Amino acid sequence: MTKRQFILSVAVSLITTTLACNAIRTPPEVNTDQVINNAALAPGQTIALPMETGEPLLIERDQQLEFSINDFVTPVFSGTLVCRTTTNPDTGTYDFFFRILESTAGLSGDIARIEVTNFAGLEVGVGYSDNSGAIPPTSVERSADGATVSCIFADPVKPGEASTYLRVQTQAIAAGEGGTVRLVTSSGQSATVTCRQPE
């Protein structure tokens, strides 16, 4: 093989390898469970929370956050909270999802509400997805200043159970750190974790 033939052979091999790598590259993950059928929520308003069915969204980030609610030093409820940030592939806007993924059985507390921030100054839509076997919320309220959206469980999430996703749809085109999620028991004990928020 001449030097020229060798160089051409190497070039063809590199091109073939590059094409093969591009062919197996996976697309962005699609959050196929979540949808756009939701209800508008104005500051100071409380509404029944609709169940959603429908469109795929792109998952921008999933955070799984451990939390524990204590009565002084005794745990009454603990588990894992999922904070999911998605983008709409058509509009580029951000939505925010919150769910108790799992909780520790055998404790004495429950979760009666989940309060999330910061949504002041934004138009907000809300809904929840139907995760089989999980506890759905019954209503949602928004603070007078619009900053806090609270998901309420008439049938609280008990130890060993999970909740469905709460979705907060926004028109925000960016997301960053600094949001909070406060999980509150029927007795008033609570724990707060930090999460993504609209910017």
* Domains of the chain, each with CATH number or no CATH: 29-198 (2.60.40)
| pLDDT above 50 (res 148) | yes
The phi, psi pair for 16, rounded to 5°, reads -60, -40
Task: Answer with the residue of higher pLDDT: 17 or 156.
Answer: 156
pTM > 0.85: no
Residue 161 is predicted with a pLDDT of 97
Residue 29 has pLDDT above 90, yes or no: no
pLDDT in tens, 154-172: 999 999 999 999 999 999 9
Identify the pLDDT of residue 125. 92
Residue 143 φ then ψ, to 5°: -65, 160
Retrieve residue 177's tokens: 């750190």
What integer is the mean pLDDT of 78-99? 94
Query: Percentage helix, strand, coil, to 5, in the chain?
Result: 10, 50, 40
Quote the pLDDT of residue 1: 53
pLDDT band for position 9 (50/70/90)? very low
